[in-house]
Chains A and B, each alone.
Chain A
Amino acid sequence: MNSLIIGQYVPKESIIHQLDSRLKISIVFIYVIILFAAETSLNYLLFFILSILCMSLTQIKLSFIIKGLKPVWFLIVITFVLHIILTREGDIWFDIFGFPVYKEAIIKGFEIALRFFLLILMTTLLTLTTSPIAITDAVEELLSPLKKVNVPVHELALTMSISLRFIPTLIQEVDKISKAQASRGLDFRTGKMKDRVQAIIPLILPLFISAFKRAEELAFAMEARGYRGGEGRTKYRELRFKNADYIAGLSFILFLVGFIITR
């Protein structure tokens, strides 16, 4: 459960940590899109080098990053296996218990698996090096042009920040409720399906009531402080581009040029 409570952010003083969160999000966003346009093996090599470089610059232990990637190993393996089973064309490479494995399948499967790996590595690095609050701030600023077409960008960012604040609180609450109801002898393992579903009420209802009571208190506090939407609000933390950000941005543009040349 702890992983959800602390989130994935690892506070450190590395170059990557200090980059502007808007820049980091933009780079990861572009990276994810062009990764799907990668064709040649040289392309993949470039992506690989960039990702490994970023990873080493974060100063986060390799073992920690690999642990963070754990939930997706499964997806990567499944993708690979699916390809071997479903691809039915090209040259047969070898047989496993009479099941032909095609050369095409191995290459294609490896390519897609590598793509997933790089994709997940890069997005994980973003959240490992950027605090959730910096991320929501950046989201608000990056999406702010959408305000012109009446997209509630400020409201969305604020909702995200509020929810971040409530995640640990409500998780503790769920813990308490589950213990409290267990101590009263609530049991779902036996009985008819209908009874078991009905028994969800003693779990979900207290959770909803306490959650919405907290939300109500917060809303009253916001009202008392005169919250009137995003118009004219100032910020405690301002995002600003520094020299390192320009260098990082330029390097990424160089990478893009290299990508287009090798394609």
Chain B
Amino acid sequence: MNNLSFKLAFAAIFVVLMAIGANIATWFPLLKVSGVPLTLQTFFAILAGLLLGKKLGAFSMVAYLAVGAVGIPVFADLSAGVIHFIRPTGGFLISFVFVAFFVGLIVEKSEESIKTYLIATFVGLMTNYLIGTPFMYLSLNYVMETSMSLVTAFQIMIPFFIKDFIITMAAAVVLPQFITRLTKAVPSLATTRS
């Protein structure tokens, strides 16, 4: 079976899912934690790595960034444009490519178990912040031309990290159940991975 059609279709679907994940609170206002709307982007990027593998997962994230870059409002707050890549939060967007890649790498290398999922999710989250935060520092200093130290940038991100950590790790616990049910409903998804 030529897998190319399936690969492209699944990657395209993840582009749309990322767009929905970024704005999930628009439809489910209930998904708010003490007033701050929750985005499921990091979680969806991790899922891209888990479900599509490292290569296709990263490819779908590149496509997501490209769709946003050419002006389709798929980023958070229904916004778009290349400007997002130089904004302070741009690094978090760019990091999704690597998040999907590393998560895919871990899942492909080890057997499926809740432990693997937890490790992969944690690595994904760390990738997100370790790329996003230094990028925020660079953007604030060289694009916005203000002065802020790298340490301060990390300190600012700590509460966000804790929030994301709790949500993402809690979601990781339900992952095995989630993936089993999903691949049962859509069998070709299981064969496209790898």
Does B162 lie at the interface of the complex (its beta carbon under 8 Å from any beta carbon of A)?
no
A8 CA to B182 CA, complexed, in Å? 33
Please tell me the number of chain A residues within 8 Å of chain B, measured between CB atoms. Answer: 73
Q: Is the CB of B182 within 8 A of A209?
A: yes
Determine the main DSSP class of B at the interface with A.
Answer: helix
Does B36 lie at the interface of the complex (its beta carbon under 8 Å from any beta carbon of A)?
no
A247 CA to B68 CA, complexed, in Å? 29
A124 CA to B15 CA, complexed, in Å? 21
Partner of A215, one of B12, B23, B72, B185: B12
Q: Is the CB of B9 within 8 A of A213?
A: no
Residues of B within 8 Å of A216, CB to CB, are: 6, 9, 186, 188-189
Residues of A within 8 Å of B13, CB to CB, are: 163, 166, 170, 211-212, 214-215
Q: How far is the CB of B128 from chain A (nearest CB, A)?
A: 18
> Would you give the 0/1 interface string for B73-88, flagging 1 where the beta carbon is closer than 8 Å to chain A?
1100111111100010
Residues of A within 8 Å of B16, CB to CB, are: 163, 166-167, 170, 211
Given A127-B80, A159-B15, A1-B26 contact (CB < 8 Å): yes
Does A46 lie at the interface of the complex (its beta carbon under 8 Å from any beta carbon of B)?
no
A86 CA to B140 CA, complexed, in Å? 11
Partner of A86, one of B11, B27, B78, B147: B147
Q: Is the CB of B186 within 8 A of A108?
A: no
Please tell me the number of chain B residues within 8 Å of chain A, measured between CB atoms. Answer: 61
Q: How far is the CB of B134 from chain A (nearest CB, A)?
A: 19
Q: How far is the CB of A154 from chain B (nearest CB, A)?
A: 10
Does B118 lie at the interface of the complex (its beta carbon under 8 Å from any beta carbon of A)?
no
Does A149 lie at the interface of the complex (its beta carbon under 8 Å from any beta carbon of B)?
no
A215 CA to B31 CA, complexed, in Å? 27
In the complex, chain A residues 142-176 whose Cβ is within 8 Å of any chain B Cβ: 152, 155-156, 158-160, 162-164, 166-167, 170-171, 174-175
Does B145 lie at the interface of the complex (its beta carbon under 8 Å from any beta carbon of A)?
yes
Residues of A within 8 Å of B19, CB to CB, are: 4, 167
Residues of B within 8 Å of A159, CB to CB, are: 8, 11-12, 15, 59-60, 63
Task: Name 7 interchain pairs, CB-CB below 8 A, sorted by A.
Answer: A120-B83, A123-B81, A159-B63, A160-B15, A170-B13, A215-B13, A228-B4
Given A159-B12, A164-B67, A207-B20, 6 additional A-B pairs, CB 8 A: A4-B73, A124-B81, A156-B59, A160-B63, A201-B178, A208-B17
Report which B residues bind A (CB closer than 8 A): 1-2, 4-6, 8-13, 15-17, 19-20, 23, 26-28, 30-31, 40, 59-60, 62-64, 66-67, 70-74, 77-83, 87, 144-148, 166-167, 170-171, 174, 177-178, 181-182, 185-186, 188-189
